[in-house]
């Protein structure tokens, strides 16, 4: 009598820990994020007492501390929360989509598309303000994502073909951006600040424009957790489990475009955060994306805001841009993670 066939694999990876400890860890991550957000409101070039932070948020009366908190630091903190969550989720979805633990949001050419659109708007249309080229950056990211998806095979796209198409377009667009800024000093001035990655330009207008797009991308990414879990088993197994692999890839690409395009448009390309966040949270959440994505949405903005606060304090009376601080802080952490354990797929 032939041996019984093994049961079909579950679309959800086996849990490493009991759900209650993971839920408790998620609560701890939320409390950490709240503490870092409070520090972002209170600390900077000028330290504001927590009592003034509270009254400045609820009952601003025009005093200097209230103006600093309500008009300057509150939009900056809110943008940091949204952008950090967006990049953490984008990196996690990217690594799950391409099955590549070293993938980051720039792998599909999203950052390069946004940069090419910004430098084109600055050089050829004369746009100089962030609100002016914000939508160009988002449009450039969306166009490049669509091209990558088409080159990668459309509905039959594979992780390898998507990565190769994204890498090729990134190289071409990077050359285009370099050529334009060498010929146009005004575009060079804009790109020199924008490419560093910073929350310093945050204001209510920018926040109002990008917040709906970021929130839509965050919700879509979280809803893709279960389909991406199935996709991680391979296309054949995912189809056997009833997953629609082509739709999952298309929706994941849309989520990445919304998240990276709007985040990059508002703050510039903050590198390394999307790569680091999934590896940082995976020991806490396990490989199940239903837990990993919420953890990344909480811990990635905590890291971004902490880096922003440190940059404001370390370089008083000026400030060190958040993109630089994230790279300086994140690189040793990532190296330590790689040395401690084998990178998980």
What CATH number is attached to the domain comprising 214? 1.10.3470.10
Comparing 307 with 237, the larger pLDDT belongs to 307
- What local confidence, expressed as pLDDT, does residue 81 receive? 95
- 239 inside domain: yes
Query: For the chain, what is the domain count?
Result: 1
pTM score, whole prediction: 0.84
- 35 inside domain: no
Tokens 């970021």 sit on residue: 214
**Count of C-beta atoms within a 10 Å radius of residue 71:** 13
- 56 inside domain: yes
The residue-averaged pLDDT of 339-344 equals 58
- Cα 321 to Cα 308: distance, rounded to the nearest angstrom: 7
- 36 inside domain: no
What pLDDT, in 10s, does the model give residues 51-78? Answer: 778 887 877 777 887 788 888 889 999 9
Task: Judge whether residue 12 has pLDDT over 60.
Answer: no
Distances (CA, A) of 271 to 8, 47, 88, 135: 39, 28, 11, 20
- What local confidence, expressed as pLDDT, does residue 342 receive? 52
User: What mean pLDDT is reported for the chain?
Assistant: 81
Task: Judge whether residue 3 has pLDDT over 50.
Answer: no
Task: Judge whether residue 220 has pLDDT over 60.
Answer: yes
Structure tokens at 195: 């490419």
- What local confidence, expressed as pLDDT, does residue 344 receive? 47
Comparing 264 with 83, the larger pLDDT belongs to 83
- Cα 69 to Cα 57: distance, rounded to the nearest angstrom: 7
CA neighbor of 111 nearest in space, from 142, 88, 85: 142
**Structural domain harbouring 235:** 42-340
Structure tokens at 183: 């010929």
What pLDDT, in 10s, does the model give residues 299-309? Answer: 999 999 999 99
The residue-averaged pLDDT of 230-237 equals 74
- 283 inside domain: yes
- What local confidence, expressed as pLDDT, does residue 57 receive? 81
| CA 72 distance to own-chain centroid | 23
- 284 inside domain: yes
Tally the C-alpha atoms within 13 A of residue 317's C-alpha that lie toward its C-beta.
0
């Amino acid at each position: 009598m032939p041996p019984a066939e093994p049961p079909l694999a579950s679309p959800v990876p086996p849990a490493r820990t009991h759900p209650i400890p993971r839920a408790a860890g998620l609560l701890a991550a939320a409390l950490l994020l709240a503490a870092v957000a409070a520090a972002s409101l209170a600390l900077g070039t000028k330290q504001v007492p927590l009592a003034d932070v509270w009254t400045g948020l609820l009952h601003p009366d025009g005093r200097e501390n209230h103006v600093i908190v309500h008009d300057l630091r509150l939009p900056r903190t809110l943008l940091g929360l949204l952008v950090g969550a967006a990049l953490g989720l984008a990196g996690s979805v990217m690594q799950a989509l391409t099955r590549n633990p070293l993938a980051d949001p720039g792998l599909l050419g999203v950052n390069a598309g946004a940069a090419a659109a910004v430098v084109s708007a600055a050089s050829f249309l004369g746009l100089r303000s962030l609100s002016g080229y914000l939508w160009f950056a988002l449009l450039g990211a969306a166009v490049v994502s669509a091209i990558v998806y088409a080159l990668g095979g459309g509905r039959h796209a594979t992780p390898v073909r998507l990565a190769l198409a994204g890498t090729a377009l990134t190289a071409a667009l990077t050359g285009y951006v370099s050529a334009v800024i060498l010929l146009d000093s005004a575009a060079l001035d804009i790109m020199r600040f924008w490419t560093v990655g910073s929350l310093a330009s945050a204001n209510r207008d920018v926040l109002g424009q990008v917040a709906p797009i970021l929130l839509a991308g965050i919700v879509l990414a979280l809803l893709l957790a279960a389909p991406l879990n199935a996709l991680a088993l391979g296309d054949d197994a995912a189809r056997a489990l009833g997953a629609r692999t082509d739709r999952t890839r298309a929706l994941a690409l849309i989520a990445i475009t919304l998240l990276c395009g709007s985040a990059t448009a508002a703050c510039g390309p903050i590198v390394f955060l999307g790569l680091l966040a999934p590896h940082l949270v995976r020991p806490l959440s396990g490989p199940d994306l239903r837990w990993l994505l919420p953890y990344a949405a909480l811990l990635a903005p905590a890291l971004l805001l902490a880096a922003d606060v440190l940059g404001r304090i370390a370089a008083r009376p000026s400030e060190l841009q958040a993109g630089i601080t994230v790279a300086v802080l994140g690189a040793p952490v990532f190296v330590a993670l790689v040395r401690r354990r084998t990178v998980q797929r």
